[in-house]
Amino acid sequence: MKMERKVMNFIHSLVGKRLLDVCCTAEILTFDFSPLALHASGYARIIRNSDILVTTLDYQSWDLSESTNNDEWFNVAKFHAEIIGGAVLSTTLSPWNDLHIVLDNGVIIECLIANSSPHYNEEQEQWVLFECSKDPKPFLTVYNK
């Protein structure tokens, strides 16, 4: 129970932080809430006013020659100004470790594990929340099943 409380306190430490930047790194969406960062390695999406602006599944639509030629990178660039700048109003974590972040500019960031397409690699990380520092502490990693 004590560990769950620490995890939730860490996730809730996002509240009040501004989203300073969002970018794509390979098939990962990276969110800068300095001094905290969120790396969404699994299925993630960015929603604004009930419209899905970005989803990591868009990466599958690439042209097979240039890694940045896909809808994910295109939409992050296209909607960048609409996505960044909002402050975190709330964070929730489902029983399946789906992370939902609501910003005051109408943006919702979701890192989904339940009923989604998990990211499979050696580490099997779905999303990671960490403090940006030379020795990042705390550090929270959520893995697939």
pLDDT digits (tens, 9 = 90+) for 50-70: 999 988 765 556 666 666 666
> Model confidence over 112-140: pLDDT tens digits?
886 655 555 565 677 788 887 666 566 66
CB 74 within 8 A of CB 86: no
Total-model pTM:
0.85
The pLDDT tens digits of the residues spanning 75-112 come to 888 999 999 999 999 999 998 889 999 999 999 999 98
